[in-house]
Structure 1
Amino acid sequence: MADSRTPAAPGPFLKVQIQRDDTTFDAYVAGKENAPGIIVLQEWWGVDFEIKNHASHIAQMNPGYRTLIPDLYRGKLGLDAAEAQHLMECLDWQSAVKDIRASVNWLKSTGSSKVGVTGFCMGGALSIAAAVLVPEVDAVVGFYGVPSPELADPSSAKAPVQAHFGELDNYIGFSDITAAKALEEKLKSSGVPHEVYVYPGCMHAFMNASVDGIKRRKEMGMDDEDPAAVELAWSRFASWMARHLL
């Protein structure tokens, strides 16, 4: 059964509550006050150690960002792949986009003049959707995820999009190389600035480079480790966000 307790935020995160429509949700904020903001969207696991690792890393990039993780699952966590799959399948994606928009506007109303969105796996797909559906977004970087056509058509993207995929990713239609190439074609027709990168020899979730993240990937049959690819992707991420948010 999913752990429905609110995940404890490690030291650098401040827990805030964001209101939208008739609902309130928790979010975790780190980084410099009044710096440009970056929303960091969870994988199918929920707001766990790895998404917090990513948000902490981004907050510390030069010259410093304010990161915000919205809790799209309202405190639930997937403790194994089957549970995570169930949580993702039960997610109301349109509602999640509204959470993202409320998060962007929260950052803009509290001192961040520009706000980007990034995400991984499920969050990667939602970040691409945000480029289409959230007009307040200034830049997007999506990692290994493409939204369903019913949710968002990337050929209607309005914000600049950078996207990253593993060459050996086998999530067909969601983050495999065919999905990556189809996304690139749609972004071309959108006319927005865009970059799509494919990393040779990398599988899904290759950015999860912590000890626990690597262990979890191995348990799921992903035994590739490529620190150079991770470093290259982060450097491309940093240049893209700096170009569009600073």
Structure 2
Amino acid sequence: MNNSAFLPSAAYRLYDRYCHGEIDRRAFFDGLGRVAGGAAAASAMAAALLPNYALAQQVKPDDPRIRTERFSYDSPDGAGKMQGLLARPKEVIEVPAVLVVHENRGLNPYVEDVARRLALEGYVALAPDALFPLGGYPGNDDDGRAMQRERDRAEMVADFRAGALAVRGHEQSTGKLGAVGFCFGGYVVNELAVTMPELDAAVPYYGGWPEASQAEDLSAALMVQLAGLDDRVNAGWPPYEEALLEAGKSYSAHIYEGVNHGFHNDSTSRYDEEAAELSWERTLAFFKEQLS
């Protein structure tokens, strides 16, 4: 199902700007009013765009096949103390580790569910919450975005790097390490791929790019996942891809045509079932190949 056909493209562009802090909530609703032709229609349109996290739960928190817990770790170059959701197979066997990096609004239920999905696939997965030093994800994305803007970006990257090392060193980990992230999390995964030799496999979903000069430092196997309609993020891919080629680095990249930024997030109407499932199949196959 391609949900991109449900609403006008202008509505998705407004939501993208709103999600990334370019406009505030009032400007978002005012813009929707102009697109929809009235306040009532704008409210209905907003209801379709804003997340409904009940839709995103594919794996229940109490699923008997996995173990979940709040996991604390040290981050000396970041917040000092950090915490996230750790999910792992119930059977106590050594499995590869995967870091899961959230969007620009803290560890919301969608990203927690992604960690549980990975546990079902045979990984020990850690999804840190960059908002933990501020009290944790507040229960809604508006406040979460505002809180995350209070944090220093370099310190947050350090927090995720420390989280990656912590899950890699978990007693159930084989020591092989992957990372997957979405939006802001895609940016973090791209950064870790060029700054963290311990990272074996990186899958950034529609995230920002490192500096072209960093391409020569890529050490992780890299699979890039992009949305065809995501002009903002995609504009940075050609120069970074050129830098990777010039540095002789191997990678794979998939662009899913006709879908919006955030197509993997099944809590909003930007979700595209076909692209999300195909990209996730590719992600799992990539991790299996690189982390076995």
TM-score, normalization: structure 2?
Answer: 0.68
* 2:253 equivalent in structure 1: 196
* 1:4 equivalent in structure 2: none
Alpha-carbon separation, structure 2, partners of 1:180 and 1:147:
7
Alpha-carbon separation, structure 2, partners of 1:57 and 1:182:
33
* Cα deviations by residue, 1:42-96 (Å, 9 ceiling, x for unpaired): 11121111101211112222xx111101111211447345x45434433322212
Pick closer, same or farther for the CA change 1:92–1:236 going to 2, 3 Å.
same
Q: Is the 8 A contact 2:178 2:202 kept in 1?
A: yes
Aligned-partner residue type, residue 119 of structure 1: G
* 1:3 equivalent in structure 2: none
Alpha-carbon separation, structure 2, partners of 1:187 and 1:87:
34
Q: Is the 8 A contact 1:144 1:165 kept in 2?
A: yes
Within a 5 Å distance, the mapping from 1:113-132 to structure 2 comes to 113-132=175-194
Shifted more, 190-199 versus 134-143: the winner is: 190-199
Q: Is the 8 A contact 2:204 2:224 kept in 1?
A: yes
Q: Is the 8 A contact 1:36 1:245 kept in 2?
A: yes
Gapped runs of 5+ residues in structure 2? 1-59
Secondary structure of 2:236's counterpart equals helix
* 2:19 equivalent in structure 1: none
Asked if 1:31 corresponds to 2:77, the answer is: no
1:79 to 123, 140, 144: 140
Secondary structure of 1:231's counterpart equals helix
2:223 to 135, 159, 162: 162
Asked if 1:41 corresponds to 2:101, the answer is: yes
Q: Is the 8 A contact 1:167 1:201 kept in 2?
A: yes
Aligned-partner residue type, residue 185 of structure 1: E
Aligned-partner residue type, residue 55 of structure 1: A
Cα deviation for residue 101 of structure 1 reads 2.3
Q: Which has the larger radius of gyration?
A: 2
Gapped runs of 5+ residues in structure 1? 1-8
* 1:206 equivalent in structure 2: 263
Within a 5 Å distance, the mapping from 1:53-132 to structure 2 comes to 53-61=113-121, 64-74=122-132, 75-77=136-138, 79-81=140-142, 83-111=143-171, 112=173, 113-132=175-194
Asked if 1:142 corresponds to 2:204, the answer is: yes
RMSD over aligned Cα atoms:
2.3
Shifted more, 106-115 versus 126-135: the winner is: 106-115
Instruction: Flag the structure with more relative contact order, 1 or 2, with Cα contacts below 8 A and sequence separation at least 6.
Output: 2
Secondary structure of 2:262's counterpart equals coil
* 1:234 equivalent in structure 2: 280
Pick closer, same or farther for the CA change 1:200–1:69 going to 2, 3 Å.
same
Alpha-carbon separation, structure 2, partners of 1:181 and 1:78:
37
Pick closer, same or farther for the CA change 1:100–1:189 going to 2, 3 Å.
farther
Alpha-carbon separation, structure 1, partners of 2:61 and 2:230:
31
1:15 to 70, 73, 76: 70
Q: Is the 8 A contact 1:40 1:67 kept in 2?
A: yes
TM-score, normalization: structure 1?
Answer: 0.80
Secondary structure of 1:15's counterpart equals strand
Number of residue equivalences: 219
* Cα deviations by residue, 1:194-224 (Å, 9 ceiling, x for unpaired): 1111100010100012xxx12xxx4xxx4xx
Alpha-carbon separation, structure 2, partners of 1:19 and 1:80:
26
* Cα deviations by residue, 1:94-114 (Å, 9 ceiling, x for unpaired): 212222222222123223220
